[in-house]
Every structure is written in C-alpha cells, then in structure tokens.
Amino acid sequence: MSYIGSSSAVIPVGFSGVNSQSFNGDGSTVAFTLNRPVSAAKDVEVVVNNVQQSPYDSSYSVSGTTLTFSAAPSSGTANIYVTYRDQPVGSITDTGAVQKTGDTMTGDLIVDTKLGVGIDSPIARIHAFDRASSGLDHLGSFVGGTSNTSGAGAYIGIGNATGTSRGVRIGGVNTSGNTGAHDMVLYTNIASTAPEERVRITSNGYLRLADKGIQFNGDTAAANALDDYEEGTWTPEFIALSGTMQTVNYGGRVGKYTKIGNVVHADFVVSWASTSGTGSGLLALSMPFAPYGNGYAHNGFGGISYASGLPTTAHLYGDSGSTRAVLIKANGTANSYYSPSEISSGGGQIMGRFIFHTT
C-alpha cells in the first residue's frame, strides 16, 4: 500500500564516485575546475606540494565548481591534490512513498490515530483547522454519542467554536447504540453551549424541526415562524358549566383535528342513546385545545351542521382559558344558552366543526 513518510526498510544511499582530484600547477594559474560543486572551503582538503592548505587563512576559496588560490601554485605534475569530504548525492528513491507535492496516492491510507490538518493536537479522528483565521475553527469528525442525548452515532462538526462545543454538527444517530436504523440530525449551538438539535430526518423519512419553527422568504420575526403541525384525535363529550351534567349514555364519539401553527380545524360527531338524572348550568362540548384570548369574542367560531336531540340549531364559542366550547341557540331573534337538561333523554346526534386560534 501507499503511505506518507519514510519507509521502515533500510534504503541504500548513493555517494559520488569522485572522491579526490589532482591538478598540475604552472606557476601562473590560480583557478581550477572541480568535478562537482562545493559550497564551502572546509568541504575539501587541498594539498599543494605535499603541504595541506588551511581553509581559514584565505589561501584558497571555492565557489561552485571553481577552486581559486590566493597565489598561483608552482609548476609540477599533480602537485595540487584535492580530497572531497564525501556527502550523499542524488536522492533516496522509494516507489511506495508519496512526495510532498505533485504526487498521487493509490491504494488505501490507514491512519490508526487522529489526523490533524493545520492543528498540532487534533481532538477528533479528522480535525482540520485554519491557522490563518482566528475566527474559523475546524472541520472535524466525531465518533460516539457523548455530546448527544439522542443516542450513539457519528458526527461531522463544522464551525467556529472551540473546546468540546461545535458551531454546527451533522450526525447520524439512533437510540439503541450503533445498530439498527439511524436518523440524520442537524445541530447548532448558541455561544459556547453544547450543540442543540434543530432538524431531524428520521429513518422512516419524516422531517422534524425543533421548537423555533420555519421562517419563509427571509422573514426573521420569531412570531412569524411556523412552529407546529400535527394531526390528531380527541373524544368529545358534553360538559356542564356552572352546574351539573346529567348522566349521558353515549353511543359513539369521534373527534379529529389538524393544527397548523396556532390555527385549529376540528370536526366532531357525538351520538347518545339516552340520558338520566337532571342537568343544570350551561351546556358545553369538549375541545382538543383551548382558544386564544377571551372566549366570548369567538362567537360563531364553530357550528353544528346536523343536530337531533336538541331543540334548535346551535352555534359554538370557546370558553376562555379552557378546552371547551359553549353551545348557544340560534333562534333568529336573540341568542340564548343551552342547558344540559335540554338534551333529549331519548337519544340524539350532533356533528359540526371548530375553526379557531389557540394559544
């Protein structure tokens, strides 16, 4: 496989084949050409007429491949002798190594530790850091559920936080360890707090948001965020306000609602076979949510589309601060309240709809 760094095997190093060189002095020539470049006078030993020259008294100097004497050596055959203090030449060649620049790795790269890019002490398996920008922290990969209450998983952190917190975290988590289905979760954090879940795509394909809601078309007002959508059921029943509810023998009760933000649409059917006892007070019907504000301002917010067992057509309005709607009569001249005692003891059925704002 390919790897980064030097090989653990012993690699032969090549040396120059030229270790010494001689010249013939003529009494006038001071410059001689060496067989290889030399960077300093002390890198060669120079002997003239069997006397070694000092590299420290300027008796000679070197520059590249030129050896220059301060005075011309006397005439003689091979009376000038140069010995090179050998150094490795060429380069170490290892076909398995990857060069620092301009090279391509093939095969697997195995790093059995943390990998830091631009950072000396990585805190994750992969941790990249922009040293040039003090505000931009890292891209990191984090394994495990130590900072996530939703269960174990693997995460990628991207952000400008430091320490153990992360600016943004994207992760796959589940609630039963690392086996089974995983959810895809997006986390953000405020200041230096731990990451908080904002968006989750569940393993069965549903999208779930945190309580802040969705904002549209660049709107930043918190009040305009869509923070809830739900569909559900409830079991409607008759209730007596400021009085007593007689016993109602229900035949069937069905309530179904859709809540979008703070607007509720609810349909209901209530049937009863008989009643017993005596009722008093005001007749009301249970609701799935409490209406917003003063219930008396919601006159006509709901209606009964069919009724048998009640003497006249009825409308509904929310009772302030409670999950119930009072039934009122629509008699063409003036509205008046129903009493529980007006429910037919021989049975009946009502059906209708609420449309209202909740808190």
Question: Domain locations in the chain?
Answer: 20-84, 115-209, 233-357
Residue predicted with more confidence, 241 or 15? 241
Alpha-carbon distances, residue 120 vs 6, 99, 115, 350 (angstroms): 20, 21, 9, 74
258 contacts 265 by C-beta, under 8 angstroms: yes
Rounded to the nearest 10°, the torsion over CA 24, 26, 32, 33 is: -50
| Best CA proximity match to 153, nearest among 144, 162, 161, 164 | 144
Q: Give the three-class secondary structure for 17.
A: coil
Residues 34 and 26: their CA atoms lie apart, in Å, by 17
How does DSSP classify residue 163? T
Identify the band that residue 151 occupies on the pLDDT scale cut at 50, 70 and 90.
very low
Neighbour count for residue 108 (Cβ, 10 Å): 8
* Range 202-207, long-range pairs (CB < 8 A, 24+ positions): 203/174
Cα-flanking dihedrals φ and ψ of residue 189, to 5°? -140, 160
Predicted confidence (pLDDT) at residue 52 exceeds the cutoff of 90: yes
Mean pLDDT of 25-33: 95
Residues 202 and 209: their CA atoms lie apart, in Å, by 11
Tell me the helices (H) and strands (E) count for the chain, helix number first. Answer: 0, 24
Residues 353 and 97: their CA atoms lie apart, in Å, by 76
What are the tens digits of pLDDT across the range 301-352? Answer: 677 888 888 877 777 877 766 888 888 887 655 568 889 999 999 999 999 9
What are the tens digits of pLDDT across the range 254-296? Answer: 999 999 988 899 999 999 999 999 999 999 999 998 887 654 4
98 contacts 3 by C-beta, under 8 angstroms: yes
The whole-chain average pLDDT of the chain stands at: 77
Residue labelled with tokens 């195995």: 110
**Encoding tokens for residue 127?**
């941790």
302 contacts 353 by C-beta, under 8 angstroms: yes
Cα-flanking dihedrals φ and ψ of residue 46, to 5°? -115, 125
What are the tens digits of pLDDT across the range 79-136? Answer: 999 999 866 555 556 666 666 677 777 778 777 788 777 777 777 677 766 555 544 4
Residues 66 and 39: their CA atoms lie apart, in Å, by 10
Predicted confidence (pLDDT) at residue 51 exceeds the cutoff of 50: yes
**Encoding tokens for residue 85?**
């203090």
Residues 229 and 223: their CA atoms lie apart, in Å, by 15
Say what the pTM is: 0.53
Alpha-carbon distances, residue 86 vs 15, 16, 100, 284, 336 (angstroms): 7, 7, 27, 106, 116
